[in-house]
Amino acid sequence: MSTTLQANPRKLALLAAVLAALAACSDDTAAVGTPGAGKDSSTTDTGSDLGTLDLFVEDVSEDVDLPDIVTADIAGADTVYTPIPCQKNEDCSTLVCTASPTGKECAQPCITGCPADYECVQTATGGDVISVCIHKTPYRCQACNTDTDCYQGKAGKGVCATIGAGKHCVQACDGAKSCIGEGFTCQKLSGGQGPSVEVCVPPGNQCTCLDGQSGGCSVTNEFGSCPGSYTCSGGKEGTCSGQAAAAETCNLKDDNCNGQTDEEVASVECDLPNVYGTCKGKTECVGGKQLCQGQSAAAEVCNGIDDNCSGQTDEGFPNTDGDLQADCMDSDDDADTVLDAADNCPLTSNTDQKDSDKDGQGDACDSDDDGDKIADGEDNCPLALNASQTDTDKDLVGDACDCDLDGDGAANLGIDATALDCPVAATLDNCPLVKNAEQTDSDLDGLGDACDGDKDGDGVLD
Mean pLDDT (10-residue bins), the chain, 462 residues: 35 40 34 32 34 34 34 40 91 91 92 90 84 92 91 71 92 78 85 67 92 94 95 93 95 95 94 96 95 96 95 93 91 91 92 90 87 88 86 84 76 57 69 78 78 74 74
Q: What is the number of other CB atoms lying within 10 angstroms of the CB of residue 78?
A: 9
Question: What pLDDT is stored for residue 458 in this prediction?
Answer: 73
Q: Among 36, 45, 33, 42, which Cα is nearest to 112's?
A: 36
Query: Residue 358 — left, alpha, or beta (φ > 0 → left; ψ -120 to 50 → alpha)?
Result: left
Length of the chain counted residue by residue: 462
Distances (CA, A) of 384 to 370, 398, 419, 438: 5, 9, 9, 29
Compute the distance between CA of residue 28 and CA of residue 452 in angstroms, rounded to an integer: 177
Question: What pLDDT is stored for residue 399 in this prediction?
Answer: 81
Question: What pLDDT is stored for residue 283 in this prediction?
Answer: 96
Side chain identity at 84, as an amino acid letter? I
Q: Among 115, 113, 136, which Cα is nearest to 38's?
A: 113
Q: Strand 214-221 vs strand 97-98: parallel, antiparallel, or unpaired?
A: unpaired
Q: What are phi and psi of 228, to 5 degrees?
A: -140, -165
Q: What is the number of other CB atoms lying within 10 angstroms of the CB of residue 85?
A: 13
Q: Residue 207: which residues within 8 A CB-CB, separation 6 or more?
A: 141, 163, 164, 168, 170
Beta bridge partners of 188: 198
Side chain identity at 5, as an amino acid letter? L
What global pTM score does this model have? 0.50
